[in-house]
Amino acid sequence: MSEAAATPALSLEGVWQAFASADGAEVLALRDLSLAVAPGEFVSLVGPSGCGKSTALRLVTGLIEPTRGCAAILGRPVEANLDRVGMVFQKPTLLHWLSIEDNVLLPVRVRRGRVGEADRTRARALLESTGLGQFASKLPHELSGGMQQRAGICRALIQDPDILLMDEPFGALDALTREQMCFELLRIWGERRKTIVFVTHSIPEAVLLSDRVVVMSARPGRIESIVPVPLPRPRTLESMALPDFQACTQAIRRIIYGYDTERAVVGAAL
Amino acid sequence: MAIPALTLVALVLLWEGAVRVFGIPNYLLPAPTRVLAELDKLGVRLVPNIGATLLTVLAGFLASVVISLPLAVAIASSPFVARAVYPLLLITQSTPIIAIAPILVVMLGTGQLSRATITFLIAFFPLLVSMVTGLLSTPREAVELSRVLRTSFLQDLWLIRLPASVPFVFSGLKVAISLSVIGAVVAEFVTANKGLGYLITQSTAFFNVPLAFGSVILLSIMGVLLFQSIVLVERIFFPWAVQSERITRE
């Protein structure tokens, strides 16, 4: 397979992660996690709360070191390739004293100490492409939640990273905005072909967006199964009506709940 | 704005009327007109007294700001410094500064340095506490963002922690400026040869209560104006901080 031959965009190999809990006992957050994500691939991590989805993501940002095993970005240790990674948080996490444009430019300011006119042009183009063009000079609180999160995505994209890590980025948004943001993200991904690792609680969201869905289970966090999504691209609202979409979401639910949900519903009706 | 002004006018009229109707003697409660007359008698000779007090207030206040800021950064960035310094600070705060004031005068002399030091000691602690609180209450997500972006210590401070703490700093500054006025008066009670605090001790020694009242009123006006100028600085230079204070209050 060509995927296996090329260097994966990011990989976790035999990662174990243990934390000391508040009372001093050791808690195993991840057990023997191995995952390789190919360049340009869109992979989602789903699973119940506490299954270590966010922990896995934080390993790739270098915020935490694996207890055992290793994490790599483009075949090199995480620390060496950090500037190839952009991160989108659950909350927009915009600095409320900076304009939207300056928020987007924050990674540039940190990396190079100053912001040039070329950077500003790039930031404005990014904002323009996500429909925030006329809000560049506004302060974050003047924007809606969805617009703030779009600005957060622009900030992650400003350094043109190869990999975009998204930690439940639409979790704080209302259902309608959330759906719009999914298609917005698919459009951005279609244009720029980043490798995306997307953590979510929503199974339909994971299926709609991803090439593969990694299903995790909790205590300790481990990969239960990896479900490929055969839906054709580009994906649209109609994709959700396809039989394959239903089949995928059902398959994932079955893995998470450990039994056939259809039968469970029928059973309840009887 | 109109209603507080009306209440004030009404109270002053009531005061004037009561003093006249009941014939209250001047050394107990002077009428407002009498207070004004006494201030008018001093005329331009008030100016050096107001100037002296203002100088002490500003010197003490500026010293508080200049010393609190780096100290707050050190305390907020290092648990070691926090553990080493905080208990000492608490001791200095539990000690009534007015009790140390005469000792300070012996140590530092009867000049401006003593008065500024006393003012500083009274004003700086609440400011320091607000600054430390502000630096430590950076939103968790902003701290995470800063770590993901691999900011250096100074970048983290300058781009994220300090701006995030601005609303706290300003509430500390507002307390500090009010305390500086108190500190300056305390200092002048202990050692001064001019100033509004000095006028109060001198005039009451000669039962010139109207002049003492006049000095107190001038001190209140000074306090209000200084407080309002802090508010103004915040509005002009940090409008987003005023905004976020309003949001947190809601």
The one-digit pLDDT tens for each residue of chain B (250 residues) are 688 889 999 999 999 999 999 988 888 888 898 899 989 888 888 999 999 999 999 999 999 999 999 999 999 998 898 889 888 888 888 888 888 889 999 999 888 999 999 999 999 999 999 999 999 988 888 988 998 888 999 999 999 999 999 999 999 999 999 999 999 999 999 988 899 999 999 999 998 899 999 999 999 999 999 999 999 999 999 988 876 655 554 4
Give the pLDDT score at A3: 45
Q: Evaluate whether A163 touches A195 at the Cβ level (below 8 Å).
A: yes
How distant, in Å, are the alpha carbons of B163, B171, B172, B200 from that of B234? Answer: 12, 10, 12, 33
What contacts A157, CB < 8 A, 6 or more positions away? Answer: A86, A126, A164, A188, A192, A194
Please give the Cα distance from A198 to A44 (Å, whole number).
5
Please give the Cα distance from B233 to A192 (Å, whole number).
45
Give the pLDDT score at B244: 60
Most A CBs within 10 A among B148, B149, B156, hence the mutation to make, goes to: B148
Most B CBs within 10 A among A83, A89, A94, A95, hence the mutation to make, goes to: A95
- CA nearest to A89, candidates A178, A7, A198: A198
- CA nearest to B173, candidates B97, B237, B84: B237
pLDDT band at A62 (very low <50, low <70, confident <90, very high): confident
What contacts A96, CB < 8 A, 6 or more positions away? Answer: A139, A140, A141, B240, B244
Which option is the CATH number for B32-249: 1.10.3720.10, 2.102.10.10, 3.90.1170.30, 1.20.210.10? 1.10.3720.10
End-to-end, the C-alpha distance of chain A in Å comes to 48
Please give the Cα distance from A8 to A41 (Å, whole number).
10
CA B233 to centroid of chain Cα atoms: 15
Task: Answer whether A95 sits within 8 Å of B247, measured CB to CB.
Answer: no
Q: Evaluate whether B65 touches B71 at the Cβ level (below 8 Å).
A: no
Hey, CA dihedral for B238, B240, B242, B248, is it positive or negative?
negative
Residues of B in contact with A106 (CB under 8 A): 145, 149, 159
Please give the Cα distance from A135 to A117 (Å, whole number).
18
Give the pLDDT score at B179: 95
- Interface residue ranges in chain A relative to chain B, Cβ cutoff 8 Å: 61, 63, 82, 87, 89, 91, 93, 95-97, 106-107, 109-111, 139, 141
Q: What is the pLDDT of residues B82-119, one digit of tens each?
A: 889 888 888 888 888 888 889 999 999 888 999 999 99
Residues of B in contact with A109 (CB under 8 A): 159
Please give the Cα distance from A53 to A219 (Å, whole number).
12
Closest-CA residue of chain A to B145? A93
Give the total number of structural domains in chain A.
Answer: 1
Residue A267: pLDDT over 80: no
Q: Evaluate whether A27 touches A18 at the Cβ level (below 8 Å).
A: yes
Q: Tell me whether strands A26-37 and A10-20 are parallel, antiparallel or unpaired.
A: antiparallel
- Owning domain of residue A77: 2-269
Q: Evaluate whether A158 touches A105 at the Cβ level (below 8 Å).
A: yes
pLDDT band at A259 (very low <50, low <70, confident <90, very high): low
CATH number for A172: 3.40.50.300
A214 forms beta bridges with A45, A226
Give the pLDDT score at A268: 46
- CA nearest to A208, candidates A176, A177, A173, A234: A234
End-to-end, the C-alpha distance of chain B in Å comes to 23
Question: Minimal Cα–Cα distance from A57 to chain B, Å?
Answer: 12
Which DSSP letter does residue A237 get? G
Percent of chain A at pLDDT above 90? 37
Give the pLDDT score at A15: 87
CB burial of residue B52 (10 Å; 0-12, 13-18, 19+) = buried
Q: What is the pLDDT of residues B1-30, one digit of tens each?
A: 688 889 999 999 999 999 999 988 888 888
Give the ipTM of the model, two decimals please. Answer: 0.80
Please give the Cα distance from B4 to B204 (Å, whole number).
30
